[in-house]
A = this chain, B = another copy of it.
Amino acid sequence: MIVHHHPFLAPCRFVRLALAEHQVVTDLRVEPFWEGRPEFVAVNPGLTLPMLADGRGTVIGATAAMEYIDERYGATRAGSRLMPADPFARAEVRRLVEWFVHKYEEEVAGPLVTERIIKVEMPARMGGGAPDSQAMRAARANAVAHAHYVGTLAAQRKWLAGDQFTFADLAAAASFSVVDYLGEAPWGADPAVKAWYQKLKSRPAFRPLLLDKARLVPPAAHYADLDF
């Protein structure tokens, strides 16, 4: 399975985690999406990452990829399937995945990664350059509000979407992980969110994410520590 991705886009990390949880062997290809390479635009006009390609077809975007992974590989997890069976539990997983893939991405992870990683890699003529401190301040304030929300869920439920470990935990952890790389995760804001993230970070599927390095931006000192 070829995975076209960017290591610091949270929706790509979510799908890498989901594939790893299903033991799918992947061939990761980094796509510099801001370049809009014509060969890539031709198959993916929205330049949406991740994109899965397995020789028979393509699956574009984290939401479609989650459903594809569950439909194709979900049965291999038997009693620990990442999409629950109950219709309303499924809806809750999908609501939370959407929350992280879109809302958290727009309000927190996307701006922080764009300002601190992507703009450093991007040439100035494509919009690269120094981070916008106003965008960073807004994203940091949002990060605290989101940490409180996730902390509330983590305190009330066994896992974020309910009693069962699901795709929602992977989507949320993927989002927190890129913010944590940058040292911007407000772990002090909520003890429940930190305890929940610690469980996620210890999973074998998480290891490759903890080895990711941005070319010009080193990870926060505690990034790969399971005890942070």
Contacts and interface: CB of A to CB of B under 8 A. Distances in A.
Contacts of A58: 88, 91
Interface stretch (A18-26, A65-73, A119-127): A65-73
A88 B51 CA distance: 12
Task: Say whether chain A's binding surface is mostly helix, strand, loop, or mixed.
Answer: helix
A87 interface: yes
Given A45-B149, A99-B46, A149-B45, A64 B91 contact: yes
A48 interface: yes
Interface in A27-65: 45-46, 48, 56-61, 63-65
A57 B63 CA distance: 22
B98 A64 contact: yes
B99 A57 contact: no
B64 A87 contact: no
Contacts of A56: 88
Interface in A79-120: 87-88, 90-91, 94-95, 98-99, 102-103
Given A63-B63, A98-B63, A102-B102, A91 B57 contact: yes
17 contacts: A45-B149, A46-B99, A46-B103, A57-B91, A58-B88, A59-B91, A60-B95, A63-B94, A63-B98, A64-B94, A64-B95, A67-B67, A67-B91, A67-B94, A68-B91, A72-B87, A102-B102
Given A56-B88, A60-B91, A64-B98, 19 more contacts: A45-B149, A48-B95, A48-B98, A57-B88, A57-B91, A59-B95, A60-B95, A61-B94, A61-B98, A63-B63, A63-B94, A63-B98, A65-B91, A67-B90, A67-B94, A68-B90, A68-B91, A71-B87, A71-B90
